[in-house]
Structure 1
């Protein structure tokens, strides 16, 4: 069975392609930029295809005889829908590494179509959202009647890839998002702060519109979900200021200018930076009676983690026949999937909070 990496010439896609080659795998490298795809494929001695995403017949033709597609081309708001629909038509399993709430929600709305087509859809197969999704399911099993779920992470290095930076720009000036009573609702950026120990001591943290606001609900059924990351007091003040500048930051001129600056200047973290960086991931569940559980893990930096998790899920789909439908990573692979990946260890497993 053939498999394909779309967006293989991007920062994370190239990391995944190089690791796949190291493991003796032979993915088809694909993307929109024919010269870059051909150059990388030539260097790695791998097959390649170049195709854009404007023509559904062209996408479907490119996916013929492809068993699994791993989409690494962000922002996924622009690439996920045409690729997912082509996968449904060609009966190709679909994975991506998105953390975009709207993309995750849209994929889950196609659950019935995926089942009818005999296809697995599993968006969020990278750092967004595998670690937090697995923690969410662990906590759900420890506290089955949980009504509130809080998740979060602290990263040692904040260097971004171009794709991640572009996705961040898309979100500038927009409200944050949390889930309440089963529905996704807006929360202005900077509101709802609290202090959390992610694994390195208590720090000020704010809610962020992370993918688990969508995916953790499908994993656990818990109706109230918030995702946090630590910030400095100065950053919190900037976040609150941005709320008032949303109409400017969302303007096409500003968006296009920022994207242009990213394309010129953002390269993504170097190998030495990735290897030196760690990520601390935390979760907390509470039920109506006041019982609670929390846990923490430490893992690789987000990009290295994404390489490991996405390839593990590709390999699973290539050698197994799971039921079709739209899956979250934890439901597809099990809650202990996170602990099976290199560089990950539990700081503390679910336990009652003090």
Structure 2
């Protein structure tokens, strides 16, 4: 099967392209920037294609002969929908590395179309959301009648340009959690509690992470929150930002901040990634008050995105699952994260 990395000239896309080549894989490298894509493809001795996503004819032509796309061009809120639609039209599998709730919800809404086309649609095959999705699935197995699920991670990783831009969009939209099966909007840092993610107890706050969407499709647990550790000052600043969301929603302000990100944010280098593991945690609770807790230590988020996304790519190159919308744990099972480099065993208490 011929497959493609779209957005291969971005920070994470290039990391994935280089690791894929190191493994002997031969993806087609694609993106909007013809010169940068051509240069990287020439260096790695791979095929290059250049096309934009806002031209449906060019997009369909760009996917000619492609059986699988690993989409790495964010912000995915703007780029995922045309690529998902094109992949389904071309009977092509779609993967991406998003963590955005709106993308997961849109992908799940395409389940029937994807099923009929024989296309696997599985966003979130990177750090967003493989580790937390696998923990959610494992906790569901450990406590089948769970009614509440909390997930979280302690990561010291810096931001790539794409992640930083997505975070700006997320702040403008405020907090999100799932309550009684429905995603609801709440203020930033809506809930604060102390959590031991695996590296000691820390103060943590709720964030609008992708599992608010995906963990529901993986487990059916109706109440879901996601936490990130933060200092008292960080939490206070997040709560102050609630009063500025009207300003952050301005297109002019968003574009100004994103231009600054493009100029200044580069993403962590290999030595930094190697020094910064991630601790992932989850807690399930049932109506009787029984609690199960899960923890796992993984590689740095960007390193896990490289190995995790390629694990899913290689699975689809070998196997032929039925078409439809998936989460990572539903596609490959809750042990996917434990099979990735630098992952510890998952502990459930």
CA offset digits 1:176-211 (Å, max 9, x no partner): 000000000011012210110001111110010000
Matched with 1:250 is: 249
Match of 2:347 in 1: 349
Aligned to 2:125: 125
CA distance in 1, matches of 2:188, 2:292: 27
SS in structure 2 opposite 1:290?
coil
TM-score w.r.t. length of structure 2:
0.99
- Asked if 1:196 corresponds to 2:192, the answer is no
Please give the alpha-carbon distance, in whole angstroms, between the structure 2 residues aligned to 1:115 and 1:256. 37
* Residue equivalent to 1:301: 300
In structure 2, runs of 5+ residues without a counterpart are: none
The aligned counterpart of 2:13 is: 13
Give the structure 2 partner of residue 178 of structure 1.
Answer: 177
Q: Distance in 1 between matches of 2:328 and 2:312?
A: 8
SS of match in other structure, 1:24: coil
Is the contact made by 1:174 and 1:243 (CA closer than 8 Å) also made in structure 2?
no
Tell me, what secondary structure is at the counterpart of 1:167?
A: helix
Q: 1:247, 1:183 → 2: CA distance?
A: 24
Residue 173 of structure 1: how far off its partner (Å): 2.9
Q: 8 Å contact 2:4–2:70 — kept in the other structure?
A: yes
Distance 1:320 1:307 in 2: 20
| Secondary structure in 2 matching 1:210 | coil
1:282-329 per-position Cα deviation (integer Å, ceiling 9, x unaligned)? 000000011110010000111000000000100000110111100100
Q: For 1:92-120, what per-residue CA distance to the aligned partner results, in whole angstroms no more than 9, with x for missing partners?
A: 00000000000000000000000011110
Is the contact made by 2:170 and 2:208 (CA closer than 8 Å) also made in structure 1? no
Aligned to 2:332: 333
Which residue is 2:71 aligned to?
Answer: 71
Match of 1:205 in 2: 204
Instruction: Kindly indicate whether residue 283 of structure 2 is the aligned counterpart of residue 284 of structure 1.
Output: yes
Report deviation, 1:214. Answer: 0.2
In structure 2, C-alpha distance between the alignment counterparts of 1:132 and 1:296, rounded to whole Å:
10
Deviations 1:59-113 (A, max 9, x none): 1111121111000001001111000000011000000000000000000000000
SS at the partner of 1:154?
strand
Deviation at 1:172, TM superposition (A): 2.5
**Mind listing any 5+ residue stretches in structure 1 that lack a counterpart?**
none
Partners in 2 of 1:78 and 1:36 — Cα distance? 21
| Structural RMSD (CA) | 0.8
After TM superposition, list the pairs within 5 Å mapping 1:1-354 onto structure 2: 1-157=1-157, 159-346=158-345, 349-351=347-349
Q: What is the alpha-carbon distance in structure 2 between the residues aligned to residue 52 and residue 271 of structure 1?
A: 30
Please give the alpha-carbon distance, in whole angstroms, between the structure 2 residues aligned to 1:299 and 1:105. 26
What CA distance in whole angstroms lies between the structure 1 residues aligned with 2:219 and 2:119?
22
> How far, CA to CA, are the matches of 2:155 and 2:199 in structure 1?
11
Aligned partner of residue 298 in structure 1, secondary structure: strand
Is the deviation greater in 166-175 or in 332-341? 166-175
CA distance in 1, matches of 2:189, 2:294: 24
Residue pair 2:171, 2:188 contacting (<8 A) in 1 also: no
SS of aligned partner of 1:227: strand
Say which is worse superposed, 43-52 or 56-65, in terms of deviation: 56-65
Contact 2:180–2:223, Cα closer than 8 Å, also in 1: yes
Partner of 1:172, secondary structure, is helix
